[in-house]
Structures are given as C-alpha cells and as structure tokens.
Chain A
Amino acid sequence: MTDRNRFFDLGKKGVTRRSALKGIAAGAGLMAAPGFVRYSQAQSSAPIKIGFQAHRTGIGAAYGRWYEKTTNAAVKLINDAGGINGRPVEIIVEDDGTDPKRGAEVVGKFASQHKTDIVYGTLFSHVVVGSAPTAGELKIPYYVVSEGYHVASGKLNRWVFQPGITDVRAQVTSVAPWIAANLGKKVTMIYPDYAFGYDHRDYFTPAIKAKGGEVVAQIPIPPTESSFTKYLPQIPSDTEVLYHVMVGPGVLTFVKELGEFYGSSKPQLFGFIDSLEAVDINSPGLEFLDGSHFWEGSPRYAQENDSEAQKAYRAAVGIDDNGASTSDSKDVSTAAHMFGCWETLYVIKKAMEDSGYKGPGDRAKLVEATEALKEFKEGPEHPQGDKIFNGKIHQVFGHQNISKVEGGKLKVVHRTSIEDGMYEPEADYTTQPL
C-alpha cells in the first residue's frame, strides 16, 4: 500500500515537504539498497497490480498530478465495490519524467520487476510511442490515456490500447463542421511544430474543406519558442477563424500576445483547451478569450444539465463547479483529459472480468477481451458520455464538447455526436500474432 500513499505526496504543500525529507532520508537508504528486490508472483487472492506510468516530473507534470488524483479516486471506488474479479486493485506508480527513454525503461520495470499485470496511464505521445515497442516485446497490455493518433494509426502494436479517450483525428474531424457553420470558413491554424500539431494540420484541413471552408495559412511554432508575437503578422488579414492548439508552459504567453496584437478587432477564435489545462481561465491577460470557443473532452465547469454520474465523478475526484480542486480553488484541474483515466480503469475492469483474468498468464486473453468490447454506456463508469470502441484499431470514439467563454466560465454550446468523429480505420491490430 505504500505506493498508494505516495499519491498524495506530489504537488500539494504540507505533505510534499515530508516527501522532500523522505527524499533526503532515502539518500542514505540508497547506499545500502542492493537493487535486487524480489517481488513475489501474484497469487489468486493477491491484488491486481496496475503499473501507472505517470508524468511526475518533466514537461507533463501538471497533467500527471491530476491523472494521479483521478486514478486514485477511481481505484478507491473500484476497491470499495469489491475490486476486480474479487481482488483488490493496487496501483504502482513510476515516474517517466515525460521522457520516451525513461518511459520504455519504466514499462520494463513494471513487467519484470514489479510484475504488474498491465501498464496504464500515459499521456504524452512521445512517451507512448517510445514505450510501445517495449510493451509489445514484453507482451504486457498497455492502456494509454493520450489522445494522440498513434494507437489508431496502426503504427504501434497489438498490446497498446486507448479505450478511455478519443484521438485527435476524431476530435478535429467532429468539430470542423461546427466551426464552418458557426464561426467562419477561412481558417488560419497555429499549432506546435511536432506530431501533435501535425495531426491537427493533417486531419482538420480536409475536414473543414469538406464543409466548404479552407485553411488559408498554417503556422507551426517550434517548441523551443517562448514568445509568439513576431509570428502573428503571418496570419492573413482575411482570416475569419483563428484555430489555435498550443501546449506547454508558453501557451499563456501565446494567448496574451494574441490579445495585445489584435485588441478588440479580432477574428473568431477556436482553441483546444489543451492550451489552458490546469490554468485558470480568469488569469490576468486572458480577458481576451472572452467570447471565444474551445474544444473540451469533458467540460471543466459544471453544466446545468450535468448527469448524476458526472456529478458523482466530480465529487469523487475532488473538483468543484469551476473545475478546481475542492481543497484549493486556485488549483485548476485538467478536466478535459483526466476523465480518460477514470473511464480507462473501468474498461480494464470490464475486460478483466470478461476474460476471467487471473494473472500474467492471461494477458493475451485480456487483449482479446478488450478487442471484443463494442460500446460503453454513459453512467458512473463512463461519466463523460457513451462511447463506441473499435477493437481493430484499439481506439474509442465519443462525444466532443464545444464550449464558449462567457463571464469567466466555459459553457458548453454544442456537443457533437459520436458519428461526427468516426473515420475509416487504417489498420487492424487483430491480425497481428499475440
């Protein structure tokens, strides 16, 4: 259980001071630790061990902290309700430093040292892609919560799944018609110059074209950049919609500089909330966003028509009506993504129950059982909404929310249908040998 206690160590004051002290004490322990800890094989009554590959340090740490909180809340509920196949679930956390090399090492550590049943929880695409070969070689199921179009593209392997969150391709495909119909047809895209940005570029451009719109300019920003104003004149003046999807700590700067640049005579703005996850929408300098629109996976702010399941989920994770921590209203969550952890854990539970999973020997059966899943109903296990799962490409499809910034809150103004985001699958993992 020590690992579960560690959930509370990162990020929040008080407890973290203790972890820092523990850190110093551990320095002494290190010298003596041989590094050859023996882990006993899972027994039938022993807990099901889930290796959680977490971004505790590195660029993904802001997301990682909320992924841990959500995971913790879901596991508590699962255990209170009797666990999986009558066995309690134990989460073992390893930090991947948001680094693909360490990510692969951590997957190896889960499989062969911690002897976890599966690996789960990665967000950043480069860590997913870097870790996938190791998961495939060690034949350990790897459930990611990343929203990248890597799993569905068919370029990974049969052991990697993304059953709790939709991928970028589905997201942009489903919001494009709404943008063309409500905001404008001439779109300029600003995106980070890496794979996450390419997916936006490659799938949004044809999607908006299909609805009579066009992308008039594409401006990829290198990730080493920390100020953006000098690129803003590259936005054509006939732009009707500015489509922005920046990530990383520089995004606040980006939005503020956009505000200074345009003042009140701005084009319509459509952004991905990825830019402002864990950031208060009422931060100084963000007034400019008032009236603009955002994609959200799951709404950050409580909505009037929230389901009971959504309310229960928010209470369990510990976020208030503004999407901030119930214990600290300044601590804003990554609500648009972290629901994926919750839903993925319930998918794992369902697949383990369907396959009668007993231990690492049943991993192949678990993969097949996951592939056999077809749909998930909205409810306590899937508070974001119902979903359709495609077992061939290991990817889930769901509803997307488009929210408008109004009075310092995000209000959902449109919810896409699942079909809006469906596309022709490009792969079939089920033909690969297990």
Chain B
Amino acid sequence: MTEGSTARIYGLHIAVVAVLVALNFVLPEYHHAVLARVLVLAVFAMGYNLLFGYAGLLSLGHAMFFAAGLYGAGLPLYHLGWGIAAAFASGMAAGFVVSAVVGLLALRTTGVAFMIVTMMFAQVFYLVTLYFGEWTRGDEGLVLPQQARRIVFGGTALDLTDPTTRYLLAVSLFAAALFATLAVVRSRHGRVLVAIRENEERTRMLGYDTFANKLAAVVTSGVICAAAGAAYALLFGYVGATFASVQYSILPLLWVLLGGAATTLGPLIGTLFMYYAVDIASGYTSAYMLVVGVMLILLVLFFRRGVLGTVRERWARWLP
C-alpha cells in the first residue's frame, strides 16, 4: 500500500462525510429525514459487511444484534428512565454480550452451517422478545416518549427529535462507524480476516489464531450493529419485535451485496439504493415489489460484485 493511495483513501472518506454534513443544509425536508434514517441503517449494513465482506462469514442472524441494541437501549430508557447516553451504552453492551455468546457457539461451525446457526439463534432472540411481552409489548412494541429523548447538559438540552440534531447525530454515528471499519480493515487484524476469507486453512498454518480473529470480527460486527439499533431506538423513538425478525437479517445482506461486499462505502450505497428503489417505485405502481425484484436481477446481471465492488474491479482498484 503506497503513501499516495492512503492519502487518496482518507481523502475520499473525509470527502464523503463532508458531503453528508453539507447535505444537512441543502436537502429538502423529506429527503433530509430519509437520509438520517438511511445513515443509521447503513451503519447496520457496515457492521454486517465487516463480518460478511471481509471475514467471509455469512450470517443470517444479524437482526438479533441490531435488536439487541434496540432493546438494550430502549428498555432501560422506557422502564428505568435512563438517560440517552446510558441507554446508548447499554445498547452497545447488550450487543457485545449477545455477539460474544453467539460467536463462541456459532464459530464452532463454518460456511453454510454458520449461516443456519446464526439464523436459529436470531429466531430464538425474536421469540424471546415475544415471550417477555410484559416488558417489550411484543410485536406492537414501545414508543419512547418524546420528552425522554433529549440529552441535558447543565442548562442546555439536545433534542433528539429535532430534525437537524437527529441528522447530525446520524452522520456522526455513520462517520464513526465508517472510520472504525476503515481502521479495522487496514489493520493487521483486518488483513488476517481477509486471509481467513480466502483460505482459512492456510492462515492457520501460518500461525494465526483464526478462531480468535473470527470471534473478534463477530463481536466488532455485533457491536456496530447494536450501535445502529440503539441509535435507531433513540433517534426514531420506536422499539418493536419486527426488527428482530428474519427479514431484518436478510436486509443487511442485501444492502451489502448491492453496494459491494468488502467495500467500506458499499453498505451506504446499497442501503440508499434499496430505500429509493422502494420509495420511488411505489409512487408509480402498487405492484412495486415486481419493479424492485426486476431491478435486483438486472443489477446483479451487470454489477455482479455490487455497485462499488464492480467499480473497484474495473476502474478503481485502490478502493478499500
């Protein structure tokens, strides 16, 4: 990796964040609100990408990490009256615990068995959110009261329901996750993960502890997804079991594959693309899922590695 490409990579990522910040001032109200939501979900996709794209572990259970953050933040705020910062930290802690336990068990398996085990653990998590309906209100879920969604420092309060505050917080979270991902993938650990993806046996022969590296990847991925879930609960005020269901495990996989697996910016592109594909198509026809389905197929026919993956393959090999 040359000096020039490092500068170019950081330049690109800083520019993306700068554009996102600038958009705060120019976007129309609707798209401003949409982008705030998409950015939080893109963080979910980035967490997924770290494990799937770089370490090559296909999980179908990431909804449980997102939901761990969602409930980890939402329940103490709702039932115990915790503040925003404590709730957010508790959401991430929940993600840490769930991903560590799931990682320890599920990593005994590889390949498709890993995919199925994570899916089953996620199903258990989903059923648990229903089983404890007394506290979670199951599928219907909970509304976090608007007056509780503010951070008070001394005399001033930061209102998370204010569109600008919410947008800038979403961009901050996104930037943090983006640079964290970038740091991980450019670190030694990140290169070991890629080596595991390409040939686990050989990586082990070279003396690397592949289990420890994979476990670290599961936990990092789980915590990033949990951060997205916690932010979703606090910024948008709703906590419900739908987010733990299997659709929300398939969605990040789809977003990542669309944007380009193992690209740092792919998850954002994929998430954004899917949002607007549904949003715009449903404005033209009630049969919009048909349009979305056809678009997905056309997209893989021409961009087999996702948008950024194909761009990297053909034009910009330096993209991380």
Contacts and interface: CB of A to CB of B under 8 A. Distances in A.
A417 interface: no
Interface in B248-301: 276-282, 284-291, 294-295
Contacts of A26: 281, 284-285, 288, 291
A426 B30 CA distance: 35
A293 to B, nearest CB: 27
Nearest to B129: A194
B139 A105 contact: no
B179 interface: no
B137 A195 contact: yes
A222 interface: yes
Given A10-B286, A23-B284, A125-B140, A101 B242 contact: yes
Most interface-central of B30, B123, B144 (chain A CB within 10 A): B30
A32 to B, nearest CB: 10
B54 to A, nearest CB: 27
B28 to A, nearest CB: 6
B243 interface: yes
A30 B133 contact: no
Given A100-B238, A133-B237, A126 B140 contact: yes
A59 B291 CA distance: 20
B287 A194 contact: no
B130 A222 contact: yes
B279 A129 contact: no
A16 B242 contact: no
A194 B142 contact: no
Contacts of A99: 242
A30 B281 CA distance: 7
Most interface-central of A22, A23, A30, A112 (chain B CB within 10 A): A23
A263 interface: no
B288 A23 contact: yes
Contacts of B279: 35, 105, 109
A19 to B, nearest CB: 5
Q: Does more than half of chain A's interface fall in helix, strand or loop, or is it mixed?
A: helix
B44 to A, nearest CB: 12
A155 B143 contact: yes
Contacts of B278: 102
A242 B268 CA distance: 51
Interface string B128-164: 0011011001111111101000000000000001000
Interface stretch (B31-39, B108-116, B182-190): B31-39
B138 A133 contact: no
Contacts of B286: 6, 9-10, 19, 56, 95
Given A27-B294, A193-B133, A133 B282 contact: no
A194 B285 contact: no
Interface in A235-289: none
Contact of A134 (B138, B139, B236): B236
A195 B140 CA distance: 6
Nearest to A20: B287
Given A22-B284, A133-B236, A193-B130, A35 B31 contact: yes
Interface residues of B, number: 47
A29 interface: yes
Interface in A74-118: 94-95, 99-102, 104-105, 108-109, 112-113
B127 interface: yes
B281 A20 contact: no
Interface residues of A, number: 52
A57 B143 contact: no
A270 B230 CA distance: 42
Contacts, number: 147
Interface string A194-211: 111010000000000000
B31 A101 contact: no
B258 to A, nearest CB: 15
Contact of B241 (A101, A155, A194): A194
Contact of B140 (A27, A148, A224): A148
Nearest to A150: B140
Contact of A126 (B133, B237, B242, B280): B242
Given A26-B291, A137-B146, A195 B284 contact: no
A130 interface: yes
Contacts of A23: 281, 284-285, 287-288, 290-291
B236 A24 contact: no
Contacts of B127: 222, 224
A133 B37 CA distance: 14
Contacts of B137: 129, 195, 198
Interface in A3-35: 6, 9-10, 16, 19-20, 22-24, 26-27, 29-30, 33, 35
B138 A193 contact: yes
B294 A129 contact: no
A408 interface: no
A24 B141 contact: no
Nearest to B298: A27
A157 interface: yes
B237 A195 contact: no
A16 B290 CA distance: 13
A129 B276 contact: no
Interface in A210-224: 222-224
Contacts of A195: 133, 137-141
A156 interface: yes
Contacts of B277: 30
Interface of B: 28-31, 33-34, 37, 123, 127, 130-131, 133-134, 137-144, 146, 161, 236-238, 240-243, 276-282, 284-291, 294-295
Nearest 8 Cβ contacts at the A-B interface: A195-B140, A133-B237, A26-B284, A194-B138, A113-B30, A23-B287, A112-B29, A23-B285
6 contacts: A27-B291, A29-B284, A35-B279, A150-B140, A195-B138, A196-B140
Interface of A: 6, 9-10, 16, 19-20, 22-24, 26-27, 29-30, 33, 35-36, 56-57, 94-95, 99-102, 104-105, 108-109, 112-113, 125-126, 129-130, 132-134, 136-137, 148, 150, 155-157, 193-196, 198, 222-224
Given A194-B138, A196-B140, 4 more contacts: A24-B291, A194-B130, A198-B137, A222-B130
